[in-house]
Structure 1
Amino acid sequence: MLKKKEGSIESQIYRLTDRVIKLTYHLKKNGKDYSSQRGLWKILGKRKRLLIYLFEKKFTSYQNLTKELGIRRLKKINY
């Protein structure tokens, strides 16, 4: 894991990615668990917002984090 402060953007994205992986595994077994599915969507939205912020403020950190976690890069930012 990253050697960053606990509340940093990078560590929050790391923790959210860990939760996404666990929920994805859970939903493969329990396909009709719609409340968990909704929770996954909310987590993905939060992670996306944090990635957009990191992209705009610290681009090199964004690149390193996406490479380390295996996250696809943002498609297009319309701001």
Structure 2
Amino acid sequence: MIKNLSVRPSLIPREQRGSVESQVCYLTNRIKRLTEHLDLHGRDYSSQRGLWKIVGKRKRLLIYLFKKDKLRYKNLIGQLDFRGPR
């Protein structure tokens, strides 16, 4: 299992560490780590529940960003290489 899998932290400038984009990057990093963990330990249901909570939080943030600024949303989805909730 890879401990420190990073999702391109250079995408976000230092001034925007609490922005929606940085939160989505952080959550994506956690989702990837938990997915790798669940590949090894398929019956770890507490980690599975935590994964679903993190996925839901990321989805809500992406919907918020889509409603507020579609250009930033499209840039983030393109940079992170995953399909968004819409």
TM-score by length of 1: 0.90
Deviation at 1:74, TM superposition (A): 2.0
The Cα offsets for residues 6-45 of structure 1, whole Å up to 9 and x where unpaired, read as 1111100000000000000000000000000000000000
The CA distance in 2 between the partners of 1:17 and 1:26, in whole Å, is: 14
Q: How many positions carry a matched residue from both structures?
A: 75
Deviation at 1:67, TM superposition (A): 0.8
Map residues 31-42 of structure 1 onto 2, 5 A cutoff.
31-42=42-53
SS of the residue corresponding to residue 7 of structure 1 reads: coil
Q: Counterpart of 1:64 in 2: which secondary structure?
A: helix
Displaced runs of 4 or more, over 4 A: none
The answer to whether 1:54 aligns with 2:70 is no
Q: How does 1:1-79 map to 2 (within 5 A)?
A: 1=9, 2-3=12-13, 4-75=15-86
Instruction: Point out where structure 1 has 5 or more consecutive residues left out of the alignment.
Output: none
Report the identity percentage: 55
Q: Which runs of 5+ in 2 are unaligned?
A: 1-8
Distance (whole Å) between structure 1 residues aligned to residue 68 and residue 25 of structure 2:
17
